[in-house]
Amino acid sequence: MFLENFEREILASQTKPLSGGIVASNLKINDNRTGLLTLTGDILITLKVLDLTTLGAFRIQSLMKSSEQTIMNKLRGGADSDQIIFYEYSSVKNTFTNKQRTYSLKYNFNYTAKLIQINSLSQLAGNDFVLALVDGIGHRFTDMYGRKYVSGGLAKKNGGPAAVIYKEWEKNYLIGVHEFFHTLGLPDLEESGMENRLMYHLGRVGSNITNNEKAAMNKFIMYDLRDMTKGSYSNPGYNTANQLRTFLNDKSNGFIYNKAKFR
């Protein structure tokens, strides 16, 4: 009876499609027994794009394609983390015990990225990622040297919504990727000498992502290693639609967009 129930449960979890910004399957942990855990599996990152521009985003399809390719390329290829202290992993049982142990992590996920255009808030699930295309952003920021800058895009870190001025995105699609990587937890860079980096934000963005940045995004994506033992995983809710509403209405951000499209 137990076995039968167990089988049914597995079947149900296999047929119920997972959804959200992060959907992972075929998750496996390889333990080399000397303190290195290698994490593998297939991870689909989905970013929903909402056009809130007054005049329309005519190049949206090709911009989404380029962004999709770049997000995929930047996340792929593996990353090594610094040492972490976590629960001890038992490879025999594929569980984490309640003892603690120091590990190094090798992220070796096979990433796919997908950008999907949506037309209304009803197409946003609570655990989706979103990039809104707007007409303008009034927000000015001050860099570490005290100089003021206009913003081509804005984002809330760690799962929050991102927005980009469509005209700026058209000029350089990497601005959209930059904003989305804030969603995946990366901070801005301002030091001189970092002009070639994707997270540099003083007037332009480069395209380079380092191993540490890649590891930080992997850490955000697979935050609780215990989720690895379930075989498949989708991220918990960020309350995305509500967060987007608050973000767009926040006067200090100064978003200009077609409010009639925000429904």
* Residues engaged in binding Zn ion (CB under 5 A): 188, 201
| Closer residue to Zn ion (CB): 156 or 201 | 201
| Closer residue to Zn ion (CB): 217 or 222 | 217
Q: Is the Cβ–Cβ distance between 182 and 157 less than 8 Å?
A: yes
Q: Is the Cβ–Cβ distance between 165 and 136 less than 8 Å?
A: yes
- H or E element that contains 165: strand 162-165
Q: Is the Cβ–Cβ distance between 162 and 82 less than 8 Å?
A: no
| Closer residue to Zn ion (CB): 89 or 173 | 173
Q: How far apart (Å, rounded) are the C-alpha atoms in residues 114 and 152? A: 22
Which is nearest to 31 in space by CA: 79, 73, 81, 92? 92
CB of 188 to Zn ion, least distance (A): 4
Q: Is the Cβ–Cβ distance between 220 and 184 less than 8 Å?
A: yes
| Closer residue to Zn ion (CB): 96 or 169 | 169
Q: How far apart (Å, rounded) are the C-alpha atoms in residues 256 and 49? A: 17
Classify the C-alpha dihedral 66-179-200-110 as positive or negative.
negative
| Closer residue to Zn ion (CB): 168 or 188 | 188
| Closer residue to Zn ion (CB): 128 or 188 | 188
Give residue 96's identity as a one-letter amino acid code: F
CB of 178 to Zn ion, least distance (A): 6
